[in-house]
Amino acid sequence: MEPIQRSLQKWMKDNKQFQKRMNHMQEEVLHSPEVQQLKEKHPDLTDEALKKHLIKLYEYQSQSKNCEKCPSREGCINMLKGYVPRLEVEDQEIKLAYDKCVRQKKYEQQEKQQSLIKSLHIPRETLEATLDRIDPHDPARGQAVKETLQYIRNLGDELPPKGLYFHGPFGVGKTFFLGAIANELSEKGIPSMLIYMPEFVREIKNSIKDDSMSEKIQAFKETPVLMLDDIGAESQSAWFRDEILGSILQYRMMERLPVFFSSNYSLDDLEKVMMTSNRGDVEKVKAQRITERIRQLSTTVVVNGENRRS
């Protein structure tokens, strides 16, 4: 009999402590600033209705409303990460809804913008490039900054038919300009595709094996903005130069779709590089045909400065 009495006494004690905690929580929630504001907004809301929905009120009261309790989106303390609670009242019924917080909206916007930038073997640093990280007062790159900003400012409902051809020494930031422009375009909802040319050549060769070459070339032809990084650095065949690159540039020229380029070579020097195939054949006219299409598709921009990779 004694063990049963002790168990009963313990249960009653625990139950009293539980009730005490519940009463304390109820008082804390009902007198919290959030619930007081709710009562002011809905003066017809009865105490009975508030007590009926105590769990919802506690859930609302204990969470962050304006990210004030969260160190970051990843460190969000709320039940639904990236969402903030909101109370709705209808006929003495209290409902708890959730809306995206400021950080979640910003995160989704960034994800949406990044999804507009497709890339083929482009470094992450380039994909995260922004114009505000480019020094506008750098005398060596002043013209490049000016041309880039002017291009972005002039963007309207229709894309200009010409892009920019950045050329200059190794490591001066030509690829970074392409990434910054791609991100500016993505903020305006304009998709772009960045391609590192040496890997592009290998990609096309490999795609012959899985019969995906036509599909890939068509994607490069039709993307709203195409960016070819480090053109002239690749070892290419006459077949790639004429049938692949020439075909893509010709299509985009006819359809008035802009192409951006970066290269260590001026167009005159690029023409000399493209004259000679990897077999040693020299074909000046075919090389001129490529560089003429590049001139039709882009405006030349010289980029100078110190080697930022050294």
Question: What is the per-residue pLDDT across 43-66, written as a single tens digit (0 to 9) for each?
Answer: 888 888 888 888 888 888 888 888
In CATH, what class is 116-302? alpha beta
Asked which of 8-17, 68-77, 285-294, 301-310 is least confident by mean pLDDT, the reply is 8-17
Side-chain-facing half-sphere of 223: CA atoms under 13 Å: 24
Closest CA to 128 of 144, 140, 142, 117: 117
pTM over 0.75: no
Q: Name the amino acid, one letter, at 297.
A: L
Contact 117, 127 (CB under 8 A): yes
Contact 173, 136 (CB under 8 A): no
How far does CA 300 lie from the centroid of its chain?
Answer: 28
The domains of the chain are located at 13-103, 116-302
**Tokens (6 digits) for 106:** 């910003």
Beta strands 192-196 and 163-167 are: unpaired
What does the chain come to in residues? 310
pLDDT tens-digit map of 223-271: 889 999 999 887 778 888 899 999 999 999 999 999 999 999 999 999 9
Which pLDDT does position 291 carry in this prediction?
94
Q: What average pLDDT does the chain have?
A: 82
pLDDT tens-digit map of 168-218: 888 788 888 998 888 888 888 888 888 888 888 888 888 877 777 888 888
The answer to whether residue 151 scores a pLDDT higher than 90 is no
> What distance in Å separates the CA atoms of residue 143 and residue 305, rounded to the nearest whole number?
11
